[in-house]
Structure 1
Amino acid sequence: MEIRRTGGASERPEMTVTTVNPVLRVAPAAPAEAAAHFRARLAFHTDVSDVAAALAADGDPGFVVLDSRSTGSWDQGHVPGAVHLPTALIAEQAERLLDRNVPVVTYCWGPGCDGATRAALALAELGYQVKEMLGGFEYWAREGFEFETWQGRARRAADPLTAPVEGECGC
Protein backbone atom coordinates (compact mmCIF):
# COMPACT_ATOMS: atom_id res chain seq x y z
CA MET A 1 0.00 0.00 0.00
CA GLU A 2 1.23 3.45 -0.84
CA ILE A 3 0.35 6.65 1.06
CA ARG A 4 0.50 9.84 -0.95
CA ARG A 5 0.11 13.31 0.61
CA THR A 6 -1.88 15.86 -1.30
CA GLY A 7 -2.68 19.37 -0.22
CA GLY A 8 -1.36 21.01 2.93
CA ALA A 9 -0.02 19.53 6.13
CA SER A 10 -3.40 19.87 7.85
CA GLU A 11 -5.22 17.73 5.26
CA ARG A 12 -5.56 13.96 5.53
CA PRO A 13 -3.22 12.03 3.25
CA GLU A 14 -4.77 10.41 0.20
CA MET A 15 -4.43 6.60 0.24
CA THR A 16 -3.53 4.97 -3.04
CA VAL A 17 -3.51 1.20 -3.18
CA THR A 18 -1.00 -0.26 -5.58
CA THR A 19 -1.76 -3.84 -6.52
CA VAL A 20 1.28 -6.08 -6.84
CA ASN A 21 1.02 -9.10 -9.08
CA PRO A 22 1.38 -12.05 -6.65
CA VAL A 23 3.21 -14.13 -9.25
CA LEU A 24 5.87 -11.49 -9.79
CA ARG A 25 6.05 -10.12 -6.22
CA VAL A 26 9.36 -11.97 -6.10
CA ALA A 27 11.07 -11.67 -9.47
CA PRO A 28 11.90 -14.84 -11.39
CA ALA A 29 15.46 -16.09 -11.09
CA ALA A 30 17.99 -15.37 -13.80
CA PRO A 31 17.88 -18.02 -16.55
CA ALA A 32 21.20 -19.61 -15.51
CA GLU A 33 20.05 -19.85 -11.87
CA ALA A 34 16.70 -21.29 -12.95
CA ALA A 35 18.42 -23.89 -15.14
CA ALA A 36 20.68 -24.95 -12.25
CA HIS A 37 17.69 -25.22 -9.90
CA PHE A 38 15.55 -27.28 -12.26
CA ARG A 39 18.49 -29.52 -13.23
CA ALA A 40 19.14 -30.16 -9.53
CA ARG A 41 15.46 -30.85 -8.91
CA LEU A 42 15.43 -33.47 -11.66
CA ALA A 43 18.48 -35.11 -10.03
CA PHE A 44 16.37 -35.71 -6.92
CA HIS A 45 12.93 -36.49 -8.37
CA THR A 46 11.23 -38.49 -11.07
CA ASP A 47 7.55 -39.01 -11.79
CA VAL A 48 5.33 -42.05 -12.10
CA SER A 49 4.98 -41.76 -15.88
CA ASP A 50 8.74 -41.82 -16.40
CA VAL A 51 9.16 -44.74 -14.00
CA ALA A 52 6.37 -46.67 -15.73
CA ALA A 53 7.86 -46.00 -19.17
CA ALA A 54 11.33 -47.14 -18.06
CA LEU A 55 9.95 -50.30 -16.46
CA ALA A 56 7.86 -51.10 -19.55
CA ALA A 57 10.80 -50.75 -21.96
CA ASP A 58 12.79 -53.81 -22.94
CA GLY A 59 15.85 -54.48 -20.84
CA ASP A 60 17.11 -53.36 -17.48
CA PRO A 61 15.77 -49.92 -16.51
CA GLY A 62 18.99 -49.17 -14.61
CA PHE A 63 17.30 -48.60 -11.25
CA VAL A 64 15.29 -50.43 -8.63
CA VAL A 65 11.96 -49.20 -7.26
CA LEU A 66 11.57 -49.27 -3.48
CA ASP A 67 8.23 -49.16 -1.65
CA SER A 68 8.90 -47.73 1.82
CA ARG A 69 5.41 -48.35 3.28
CA SER A 70 4.19 -50.90 5.83
CA THR A 71 3.30 -54.48 4.93
CA GLY A 72 -0.41 -53.71 5.15
CA SER A 73 0.02 -50.83 2.70
CA TRP A 74 2.18 -52.97 0.40
CA ASP A 75 -0.58 -55.62 0.37
CA GLN A 76 -3.15 -52.98 -0.68
CA GLY A 77 -1.13 -52.35 -3.83
CA HIS A 78 2.40 -51.70 -5.03
CA VAL A 79 4.39 -51.11 -8.19
CA PRO A 80 5.08 -54.47 -9.89
CA GLY A 81 8.67 -55.53 -9.32
CA ALA A 82 9.25 -53.06 -6.48
CA VAL A 83 11.33 -54.03 -3.48
CA HIS A 84 9.42 -53.78 -0.21
CA LEU A 85 11.52 -52.15 2.50
CA PRO A 86 9.74 -50.04 5.12
CA THR A 87 11.72 -46.94 6.07
CA ALA A 88 12.21 -48.11 9.66
CA LEU A 89 14.06 -51.21 8.37
CA ILE A 90 16.33 -49.54 5.81
CA ALA A 91 19.37 -49.25 8.09
CA GLU A 92 19.36 -52.94 8.93
CA GLN A 93 18.17 -54.48 5.65
CA ALA A 94 19.20 -52.23 2.74
CA GLU A 95 22.57 -53.86 2.22
CA ARG A 96 20.96 -57.32 1.98
CA LEU A 97 18.25 -56.20 -0.49
CA LEU A 98 19.88 -53.50 -2.61
CA ASP A 99 22.99 -53.16 -4.76
CA ARG A 100 24.88 -49.93 -3.98
CA ASN A 101 25.77 -49.61 -7.67
CA VAL A 102 22.12 -49.46 -8.78
CA PRO A 103 20.16 -46.22 -8.25
CA VAL A 104 17.04 -46.53 -6.09
CA VAL A 105 13.70 -44.81 -6.75
CA THR A 106 11.66 -44.53 -3.56
CA TYR A 107 7.93 -44.09 -3.19
CA CYS A 108 5.34 -44.04 -0.45
CA TRP A 109 1.60 -43.23 -0.46
CA GLY A 110 1.41 -39.96 -2.34
CA PRO A 111 2.20 -36.27 -2.50
CA GLY A 112 0.81 -35.67 0.99
CA CYS A 113 3.28 -38.10 2.55
CA ASP A 114 6.98 -37.61 3.30
CA GLY A 115 7.66 -41.35 3.62
CA ALA A 116 9.50 -41.56 0.30
CA THR A 117 11.60 -38.54 1.27
CA ARG A 118 12.53 -40.12 4.62
CA ALA A 119 13.41 -43.39 2.84
CA ALA A 120 15.50 -41.52 0.25
CA LEU A 121 17.35 -39.70 3.03
CA ALA A 122 18.05 -42.95 4.89
CA LEU A 123 19.38 -44.57 1.71
CA ALA A 124 21.50 -41.55 0.74
CA GLU A 125 23.04 -41.54 4.21
CA LEU A 126 23.99 -45.18 3.63
CA GLY A 127 25.71 -44.29 0.35
CA TYR A 128 23.00 -45.16 -2.21
CA GLN A 129 22.16 -43.05 -5.25
CA VAL A 130 18.49 -42.25 -4.88
CA LYS A 131 15.57 -40.38 -6.41
CA GLU A 132 12.05 -39.90 -5.09
CA MET A 133 9.06 -40.82 -7.27
CA LEU A 134 6.72 -37.82 -7.11
CA GLY A 135 3.07 -38.73 -6.59
CA GLY A 136 3.85 -42.08 -4.97
CA PHE A 137 1.52 -45.05 -5.17
CA GLU A 138 -1.52 -42.76 -5.32
CA TYR A 139 -0.52 -41.29 -8.66
CA TRP A 140 0.74 -44.63 -9.94
CA ALA A 141 -2.79 -45.99 -9.52
CA ARG A 142 -4.53 -42.75 -10.58
CA GLU A 143 -2.58 -42.63 -13.83
CA GLY A 144 -3.89 -46.10 -14.68
CA PHE A 145 -0.70 -48.13 -14.32
CA GLU A 146 -0.95 -51.77 -13.34
CA PHE A 147 -0.22 -52.60 -9.71
CA GLU A 148 0.01 -55.73 -7.60
CA THR A 149 -1.98 -56.56 -4.47
CA TRP A 150 -1.97 -59.62 -2.23
CA GLN A 151 -4.77 -60.90 -4.51
CA GLY A 152 -2.91 -60.39 -7.79
CA ARG A 153 -2.58 -57.69 -10.43
CA ALA A 154 -5.07 -54.87 -10.85
CA ARG A 155 -5.50 -51.62 -12.76
CA ARG A 156 -7.81 -48.64 -12.44
CA ALA A 157 -8.96 -46.40 -15.24
CA ALA A 158 -6.76 -43.33 -15.58
CA ASP A 159 -8.06 -40.29 -13.73
CA PRO A 160 -8.49 -37.60 -16.43
CA LEU A 161 -7.26 -34.98 -13.93
CA THR A 162 -3.89 -36.71 -13.61
CA ALA A 163 -3.31 -38.39 -16.98
CA PRO A 164 -4.53 -38.13 -20.55
CA VAL A 165 -7.47 -40.38 -21.32
CA GLU A 166 -5.85 -41.23 -24.67
CA GLY A 167 -2.29 -40.88 -25.91
CA GLU A 168 0.59 -39.26 -24.08
CA CYS A 169 0.71 -35.99 -22.13
CA GLY A 170 3.56 -34.69 -24.26
CA CYS A 171 5.66 -33.37 -21.40
Structure 2
Amino acid sequence: MTITTPNPVLSVPLRTPDDAVAYFSASLAFHADVSDVQAALDSGEPGFVLVDSRGPGAWTQAHVPGAVHLPTAQIPTRAGALLDPGVPVVTYCWGPGCNGATRAALALAQRGYRVKEMLGGIEYWIREGFAVETPEAVTAQQADPLTAPVRSRSCDC
Protein backbone atom coordinates (compact mmCIF):
# COMPACT_ATOMS: atom_id res chain seq x y z
CA MET A 1 0.00 0.00 0.00
CA THR A 2 1.36 3.38 -1.04
CA ILE A 3 0.51 6.41 1.04
CA THR A 4 0.71 9.66 -0.84
CA THR A 5 1.25 12.92 0.94
CA PRO A 6 -0.74 15.84 -0.43
CA ASN A 7 1.26 18.49 -2.20
CA PRO A 8 1.60 21.24 0.45
CA VAL A 9 1.67 23.95 -2.20
CA LEU A 10 -1.53 22.89 -3.92
CA SER A 11 -3.40 21.35 -0.98
CA VAL A 12 -5.26 24.64 -0.63
CA PRO A 13 -6.94 25.32 -3.97
CA LEU A 14 -5.67 28.23 -5.99
CA ARG A 15 -7.93 31.24 -6.39
CA THR A 16 -8.98 32.72 -9.71
CA PRO A 17 -6.68 35.09 -11.61
CA ASP A 18 -9.11 37.92 -10.80
CA ASP A 19 -8.81 37.11 -7.10
CA ALA A 20 -5.02 37.09 -7.44
CA VAL A 21 -5.05 40.49 -9.18
CA ALA A 22 -7.15 41.96 -6.36
CA TYR A 23 -4.98 40.44 -3.64
CA PHE A 24 -1.59 41.38 -5.10
CA SER A 25 -2.78 44.86 -6.06
CA ALA A 26 -3.91 45.40 -2.49
CA SER A 27 -0.61 44.10 -1.16
CA LEU A 28 1.34 46.60 -3.27
CA ALA A 29 -1.00 49.38 -2.14
CA PHE A 30 -0.08 48.71 1.50
CA HIS A 31 3.57 47.60 1.32
CA ALA A 32 6.89 48.88 0.01
CA ASP A 33 10.21 47.08 0.04
CA VAL A 34 13.45 48.57 1.36
CA SER A 35 15.04 48.91 -2.08
CA ASP A 36 12.11 50.94 -3.38
CA VAL A 37 12.11 53.13 -0.25
CA GLN A 38 15.86 53.74 -0.64
CA ALA A 39 15.48 54.60 -4.33
CA ALA A 40 12.68 57.05 -3.51
CA LEU A 41 14.75 58.68 -0.76
CA ASP A 42 17.75 58.90 -3.10
CA SER A 43 15.60 60.80 -5.59
CA GLY A 44 15.43 63.73 -3.20
CA GLU A 45 11.65 63.91 -3.58
CA PRO A 46 10.26 60.67 -2.19
CA GLY A 47 6.70 61.97 -1.79
CA PHE A 48 6.37 60.40 1.67
CA VAL A 49 7.78 60.65 5.15
CA LEU A 50 9.52 57.60 6.61
CA VAL A 51 8.54 56.85 10.22
CA ASP A 52 10.57 54.67 12.58
CA SER A 53 8.02 53.27 15.02
CA ARG A 54 10.53 51.69 17.45
CA GLY A 55 11.29 52.93 20.95
CA PRO A 56 14.02 55.40 21.96
CA GLY A 57 16.72 52.78 22.63
CA ALA A 58 16.30 51.18 19.23
CA TRP A 59 16.20 54.58 17.49
CA THR A 60 19.46 55.60 19.18
CA GLN A 61 21.09 52.27 18.32
CA ALA A 62 20.56 52.89 14.58
CA HIS A 63 17.91 54.33 12.30
CA VAL A 64 17.41 55.22 8.66
CA PRO A 65 18.87 58.69 8.00
CA GLY A 66 16.09 61.21 7.50
CA ALA A 67 13.43 59.08 9.19
CA VAL A 68 11.09 60.63 11.74
CA HIS A 69 11.10 58.97 15.15
CA LEU A 70 7.52 58.31 16.25
CA PRO A 71 7.11 55.26 18.51
CA THR A 72 3.79 53.51 17.98
CA ALA A 73 2.58 54.26 21.51
CA GLN A 74 3.11 58.00 20.91
CA ILE A 75 1.17 58.23 17.65
CA PRO A 76 -2.08 59.38 19.32
CA THR A 77 -0.36 62.30 21.06
CA ARG A 78 2.47 63.27 18.67
CA ALA A 79 1.48 62.40 15.08
CA GLY A 80 -0.38 65.68 14.55
CA ALA A 81 2.68 67.72 15.53
CA LEU A 82 5.17 65.67 13.50
CA LEU A 83 3.33 64.64 10.34
CA ASP A 84 1.44 66.52 7.64
CA PRO A 85 -1.85 64.67 7.03
CA GLY A 86 -1.52 65.42 3.31
CA VAL A 87 1.80 63.59 2.96
CA PRO A 88 1.83 59.78 2.78
CA VAL A 89 3.69 57.89 5.48
CA VAL A 90 5.82 54.74 5.27
CA THR A 91 6.38 52.97 8.58
CA TYR A 92 9.13 50.60 9.66
CA CYS A 93 10.14 48.71 12.78
CA TRP A 94 12.71 45.96 13.51
CA GLY A 95 12.00 43.37 10.84
CA PRO A 96 9.73 40.68 9.52
CA GLY A 97 9.42 39.02 12.92
CA CYS A 98 7.98 42.21 14.41
CA ASN A 99 4.58 43.70 13.66
CA GLY A 100 5.35 47.11 15.16
CA ALA A 101 5.30 48.81 11.76
CA THR A 102 1.91 47.21 11.07
CA ARG A 103 0.53 48.52 14.36
CA ALA A 104 1.96 51.97 13.63
CA ALA A 105 0.47 51.96 10.14
CA LEU A 106 -2.91 51.02 11.58
CA ALA A 107 -2.74 53.76 14.23
CA LEU A 108 -1.85 56.33 11.57
CA ALA A 109 -4.55 55.14 9.16
CA GLN A 110 -7.10 55.39 12.00
CA ARG A 111 -6.11 59.06 12.25
CA GLY A 112 -6.60 59.70 8.54
CA TYR A 113 -3.06 59.28 7.21
CA ARG A 114 -2.38 57.45 3.95
CA VAL A 115 0.19 54.85 4.89
CA LYS A 116 2.33 51.93 3.71
CA GLU A 117 4.54 49.55 5.65
CA MET A 118 8.19 49.01 4.67
CA LEU A 119 8.60 45.24 4.47
CA GLY A 120 11.65 43.84 6.24
CA GLY A 121 12.12 46.82 8.55
CA ILE A 122 15.53 48.05 9.54
CA GLU A 123 16.82 44.45 9.51
CA TYR A 124 16.48 44.17 5.75
CA TRP A 125 17.53 47.81 5.28
CA ILE A 126 20.85 46.86 6.88
CA ARG A 127 21.04 43.47 5.09
CA GLU A 128 20.79 45.29 1.76
CA GLY A 129 23.72 47.52 2.70
CA PHE A 130 21.87 50.82 3.07
CA ALA A 131 23.17 53.51 5.42
CA VAL A 132 22.03 53.86 9.02
CA GLU A 133 22.59 56.67 11.46
CA THR A 134 24.13 55.76 14.81
CA PRO A 135 25.32 58.01 17.65
CA GLU A 136 28.79 57.87 16.10
CA ALA A 137 28.14 58.37 12.38
CA VAL A 138 26.14 57.56 9.30
CA THR A 139 27.50 54.22 8.17
CA ALA A 140 26.71 51.34 5.85
CA GLN A 141 27.81 47.73 5.78
CA GLN A 142 28.27 45.49 2.79
CA ALA A 143 25.06 43.90 1.57
CA ASP A 144 24.52 40.33 2.71
CA PRO A 145 25.35 38.45 -0.52
CA LEU A 146 22.74 35.78 0.19
CA THR A 147 19.87 38.20 0.68
CA ALA A 148 20.59 41.20 -1.56
CA PRO A 149 22.21 42.05 -4.89
CA VAL A 150 25.93 42.68 -4.40
CA ARG A 151 26.74 44.49 -7.63
CA SER A 152 23.82 46.87 -7.87
CA ARG A 153 21.31 48.69 -5.66
CA SER A 154 18.41 46.94 -7.37
CA CYS A 155 17.35 43.35 -7.83
CA ASP A 156 15.77 44.37 -11.17
CA CYS A 157 12.57 42.56 -10.25
| TM range, smaller chain | over 0.9
What is the identity, as a one-letter code, of the residue corresponding to 1:48?
V
Q: How does 1:115-134 map to 2 (within 5 A)?
A: 115-134=100-119
Q: Which has the higher contact order (CA 8 A, sep 6+)?
A: 2
Task: Determine the structure 2 residue equivalent to 1:170.
Answer: 156
Matched, 1:160 2:141: no
* Aligned mate of 1:93, from 71, 78, 88: 78
Matched, 1:67 2:69: no
* Aligned mate of 2:24, from 20, 38, 62: 38
Structure 1, residues 35-68: CA drift from partner, whole Å, max 9, x if none?
Answer: 10000011111110000010011x4210000001
Unpaired runs of 5+ in structure 1?
1-14
Instruction: Provide the TM-score with structure 1 as the length reference.
Output: 0.88
CA distance in 1, matches of 2:68, 2:82: 8
Structure 1, residues 88-136: CA drift from partner, whole Å, max 9, x if none?
Answer: 1100000000000001000001111111011111101111001000000
> Which SS does the other structure have where 1:93 is aligned?
helix
* CA apart distance, 1:151: 1.4
Task: Determine the structure 2 residue equivalent to 1:77.
Answer: 62
CA distance in 1, matches of 2:14, 2:100: 31
CA distance in 1, matches of 2:146, 2:98: 20
* CA apart distance, 1:19: 3.2
Task: Determine the structure 2 residue equivalent to 1:17.
Answer: 3
> Which SS does the other structure have where 2:113 is aligned?
coil
CA distance in 2, matches of 1:111, 1:19: 30
Task: Kindly tell me the number of residue pairs found equivalent between the two proteins.
Answer: 156
Task: Determine the structure 2 residue equivalent to 1:48.
Answer: 34
> Which SS does the other structure have where 2:95 is aligned?
coil
Identity %: 66
CA distance in 2, matches of 1:78, 1:148: 5
CA distance in 2, matches of 1:145, 1:16: 52
Unpaired runs of 5+ in structure 2?
none
CA distance in 1, matches of 2:97, 2:6: 31
What is the identity, as a one-letter code, of the residue corresponding to 2:134?
T
* CA apart distance, 1:16: 4.9
Larger Cα-atom Rg: 1
Instruction: Provide the TM-score with structure 2 as the length reference.
Output: 0.95
CA distance in 2, matches of 1:142, 1:54: 18
